[in-house]
Structure 1
Amino acid sequence: MQRKNVMFIVVSLFLLTSAFMPTAANAQYHQDFTNSSNNLSIGIENLPETKEVTELSTGVTHTKIIKGIESHKAFYTAEIDFYQNKSDAQQMRKDLREKGFKSSIQTIRNPGFKHTDIGEKTIGHVLQSGEFSAMEEAEQRAQELRDHGFPVSRIAYSEYNGTLKSTGPWVINVLEINPDKFDGELQTRIGHDQIQGNETLSSMAKGTDSIAAVNGGYFVVGSGDGTPGSPAGLSVLDGTLLSESVGERTSLILNQDQARIAKAKTALLLETDNDETREIDGINRVPGLIRSCGGINDEPSNLPMHDVTCTDNDEIIQYTEVFGESTPSVDGYEIVLDEENNIISAGESKGTTIPENGSILLATGEAADWLQSNSNIGEEVTMSNNILVEGETQPLKDTTDIINGAPQLLKDGEIDITADKEGFHWSSDFYYNFGLYRHPRTLAGIKDNGNLLFVTIDGRNPGTSIGLSFYESAQLLKDIGATEGMNLDGGGSTTMTINQEVTNNPSGGAQRAVADGIFIVE
């Protein structure tokens, strides 16, 4: 998707004055901010912090921030499990002691819980055995525990616990676009230009000839959770709806020179020629598998449950050309529609070729019986694919893009993390491991003047960069001047490219192929 006069900034992490900014393309500016009042608020006080700003083009800068040092108190440990009730952790500690293993209980408290929609300050308790300077030692302890029949959930690194202050370190990459000076375009793209099949960000960056890019929203990775490459949430490209929402979740909405971070959801309805109506369950995904839930009549929940794959045996799914060449081969009934939504063929689903400019409706279970009973070749159907943003219908123009994400981190200039509402607190264990634990993150924010911010934070790399929790991510966005902020897909997906080369350090040691990205093109 192409844009002119893009109104967004990807920050140089603090409000650097014009006197500090480079004036020529690819010029660099470096400053040590140790003990500066402008330091980021993450971590303990008075940590070393440096920033290096490079101008990529007139009005476009890349800033790299390195903050903190590895703590001499950091350690690896064999983490037994997470316990909701402390008494359960105490019983396991007793059992361990009887077998000769020392262990400790760590109570997990939610920092900044007053700024979330999760009311509990205490989330639960973690039982750990040993404090080791080397991972190999912790792995040896874990094996000894397993040999005695005890569970070990993982080898944990002390500085990944985002409920405790840390010395870091952190590596943060930021892009800044000045819309008054940059005369380029913003493009969004999906991997290989279709739903099925992810692509690395650098490959997509080469295809767009971009000067900078970041990864986009959540998506399905494995076939056991749906269609690999399918966005796990609302996705719109060039005004075309690619996938349905996960309940009502925070999304990044781009429309020409305007950007908005807001709660959005889809409302999809099918009306047949005989005036019967039924909801369309999804778009461009395998029937029956709903990644992160939040759909219609899903099991175990209609509410968002992040990283859970819900099921529904009775669905109607719409397929368009962007899905791929043909529909999935599943048991069901399908109707093939031309560009005017006239039914041109119908029958049992068998992996039918998706017509150019047309679509296919595939139904399973009881929904298949309903569709067969209420449709005939030659009839016309009506599909209403509406998007509601904060309860209001969002018109889709050919300049509209929507990237899924969640949760909301900032609202009206204040930290306001809606982790429970958006499906990250379906269990306290999950919330601890996903939201309170430090991970690589990709963030988006909007300043009060309408400028948009993108930030990547490396993680899962002791001694180099440990990542951030949800709360720390919100602090970071607020530090750099955002008034609205959200989380995009992170972890192994967190990637930023500069001049089509990866500039951050992806946590898996190499780029992960992702579903979509956002690209800055001269």
Structure 2
Amino acid sequence: MFGKRKWSKKLVVATLAIFVVSMSTAFESHSLAAQSHTEQSQFAEKLPIGDPELPERRTVEHPVPGVTITTVHRGYPDSKAFFTVTVATVNDKETAEDIHAALKKAGFDSRIETLNERAPDDPATGPLGYRVRVGFFADKPSALATVEKIKQAGIRLDNGQVIGENSSVQYSAEDGGPTTGPWEIRILTIDPKQYRGELKVALATPDGIGSETVSSIVRRTGALIGTNASYFVMRDSDGTPGDVAGLSVVNGRLVSEAVNNTGSFVLTSPNGRGARVEKLSTVISVHSSDGSSAIIDGINRKPGLILNCGGVDDTPTNNPKHDFLCTDPDEIVYFTRDYGRVADAGTGVQVTLDENGKVIALDEKRGGTIPDKGIILQGIGKGADWLRLHAKMGSKLYIKQSILTADGEPLKLTKNINIVSGGPILLKDGKPVVDAYEEGFHWSESPFYYNFGVRRHPRTIAGITPDGKIIIVVADGRIPGVATGLNFKEEVVLMKSLGVTDAVNLDGGGSSTFVGPDGLRNHPSDGQERPTGDALLVMRPTHQNE
């Protein structure tokens, strides 16, 4: 009754074809790519995405010496793809069968699909989970109408649990299985041997933590090209919006603590020479003149809330857990002007230090102006108790901080070091890694890995070739019939085909953004640019005449 698959293949193809033509016309009307000539790409072979016989066209641009933009359109709309309603994705088959039976009883065309693919480093075996779906639809509005019918039906399991309230519409070409695409991928190549500009990281907003579109950051900084970069906090309930949720270093300044032992993209020189991909951790502590010391849990974020976890004494885990909010009632966090002019406000203790580490103010509440050259320490719970005991007016506190590699070696910070965080690492020394389990992209209580790593999404990826070139990829996705996106496996084979030996997945989804010399180039899946926490920027060479 609801969503039976009874349309003809011709109708699906015609519908998608009309959609693709109209969308492509709108998207490409402003693009400099339309003004550029198609030429032999630096990547000789077709991209190894989908069937090898799929059609592919490329446009290549050289905006400045040493910088190349390659835009790839590959494949075509999948005539077999359809929209469907995902009612639930669960760990165990019994729960899936209960949901399936309840939907059937209510008159919905329900089915169970087994999710078999696990992270390559997942020690567990067997199915990852089970997905309960309803219907096969030729268009999204029909699927959305079924979502509303399921919600209005008020279907309950025997234990009283209401099902269907979190139902969503998904497109089958994005499930991770075989498809014809299409794919729209932009490949930015920077050759430090020829590039005479600066490759840098910029935080959002002019005066500190906050969210800002990549287009705005590019305009504000005068950059030539920009992409999104690190994962970041989006909601007040998860901390400070715009705060990088992981390691951030800008011009040698440690701006945000690491999600320990997760992948980062490290720039070690102004033009990108020597860039690398590393798993990094941070160890930060505060030492008082009376000989006592305490752990510093975070930098430039709301105390007590740790998005993606991976810290110290976090609940429920100190291990990385992506898109999960850990908490800690006993923290010390410090704030610099990279946060902004005013520190986070709330209950607890606050200590203000001048540029020499001298305590110049003590307060039994948090908030207020951050000094230009000093810092503010905030404590909650046991962290507040430590500050009360050891931070006396006129005394000195010393901050000790280290960034450590996976081997425990310290990474020396210089003014040329810039770091953005991501994960998981995809390639290391030419070998596929995708240690998604270790880096927190697997949740034991749900099939999170399937939704994040097996399904196709917009992606942003950073990598390095053996001869030192930097390759940054932005793949559009979640635009049915126009851009399908990539999953982790496809990211690996794509980057290998581009000659990359070390690569890391950066923030993706609605954050994936590519801004070229003429403005926004890609098609963010939100339908508009999402404000992000930071950006990777290709600056204009200082000698360039314009």
TM-score (norm 2): 0.87
Aligned to 2:241: 228
Aligned to 1:198: 211
Q: Which one of 398, 401, 405 corresponds to residue 382 of structure 1?
A: 398
Q: Which one of 145, 163, 167 corresponds to residue 180 of structure 2?
A: 167
Aligned to 2:484: 466
- Give 1:161 shift: 0.5
More divergent stretch after superposition (252-261 vs 84-93): 84-93
Q: 1:465 to 1:118 in 2, by over 3 A?
A: farther
- Give 1:30 shift: 4.0
Aligned to 1:411: 428
More divergent stretch after superposition (98-107 vs 64-73): 98-107
Aligned to 2:267: 254
Q: Does 1:295 align with 2:311?
A: yes
Q: Does 1:357 align with 2:373?
A: yes
**1: distance between equivalents of 2:386 and 2:434?**
41
Aligned to 1:245: 258
- Give 1:31 shift: 6.2
**2: distance between equivalents of 1:517 and 1:206?**
12
Given that residues 210 and 500 in structure 1 are in contact (C-alpha distance below 8 angstroms), is that contact kept between their aligned partners in structure 2? no
- Give 1:66 shift: 0.6
- Secondary structure of 2:510's counterpart equals helix
Aligned to 1:108: 115
**2: distance between equivalents of 1:500 and 1:231?**
27
**2: distance between equivalents of 1:475 and 1:437?**
16
Deviations 1:219-256, CA, capped at 9 Å, x for gaps:
11111111111110000001000010112110011111
Given that residues 209 and 500 in structure 1 are in contact (C-alpha distance below 8 angstroms), is that contact kept between their aligned partners in structure 2? no
- Give 1:340 shift: 0.9
Aligned to 1:423: 440
* Root mean square deviation, CA, Å: 1.9
Paired positions, count = 492
Q: Does 1:496 align with 2:514?
A: yes
1:59-458 matched pairs, under 5 angstroms: 59-110=66-117, 115-117=120-122, 119-120=124-125, 122-150=127-155, 151-152=163-164, 153-162=167-176, 164-256=177-269, 257-390=273-406, 391-427=408-444, 428-458=446-476
Seq. identity, %: 38
Task: Please list every run of 5 or more consecutive structure 2 residues that lacks an aligned counterpart in the other structure.
Answer: 1-34, 156-162, 542-546
Deviations 1:51-79, CA, capped at 9 Å, x for gaps:
11111112221110011111111111111
**2: distance between equivalents of 1:139 and 1:32?**
41
Given that residues 41 and 70 in structure 2 are in contact (C-alpha distance below 8 angstroms), is that contact kept between their aligned partners in structure 1? no
**1: distance between equivalents of 2:312 and 2:276?**
26
- Give 1:37 shift: 8.8
- Give 1:119 shift: 4.7
Aligned residue type for 1:266: T
Aligned to 1:48: 55
- Give 1:27 shift: 5.5
Aligned residue type for 1:410: L
**1: distance between equivalents of 2:67 and 2:257?**
33
- Secondary structure of 1:433's counterpart equals helix
More divergent stretch after superposition (244-253 vs 102-111): 102-111
- Give 1:102 shift: 2.2
**1: distance between equivalents of 2:100 and 2:54?**
36
Q: 1:315 to 1:32 in 2, by over 3 A?
A: closer
- Secondary structure of 1:393's counterpart equals coil
Given that residues 266 and 276 in structure 2 are in contact (C-alpha distance below 8 angstroms), is that contact kept between their aligned partners in structure 1? yes
**2: distance between equivalents of 1:506 and 1:27?**
22
**1: distance between equivalents of 2:367 and 2:527?**
37
Aligned residue type for 1:108: L
Q: Which one of 477, 483, 488 corresponds to residue 501 of structure 2?
A: 483
- Secondary structure of 1:392's counterpart equals coil
Deviations 1:196-220, CA, capped at 9 Å, x for gaps:
3211111111122222111110111
- Give 1:94 shift: 2.5
Q: 1:221 to 1:518 in 2, by over 3 A?
A: same
**1: distance between equivalents of 2:316 and 2:306?**
11
**1: distance between equivalents of 2:383 and 2:191?**
50
Aligned residue type for 1:135: K
Given that residues 32 and 49 in structure 1 are in contact (C-alpha distance below 8 angstroms), is that contact kept between their aligned partners in structure 2? no
- Secondary structure of 1:394's counterpart equals coil
- Give 1:300 shift: 1.6
Given that residues 337 and 371 in structure 2 are in contact (C-alpha distance below 8 angstroms), is that contact kept between their aligned partners in structure 1? yes
Aligned residue type for 2:152: D
- Give 1:189 shift: 0.9
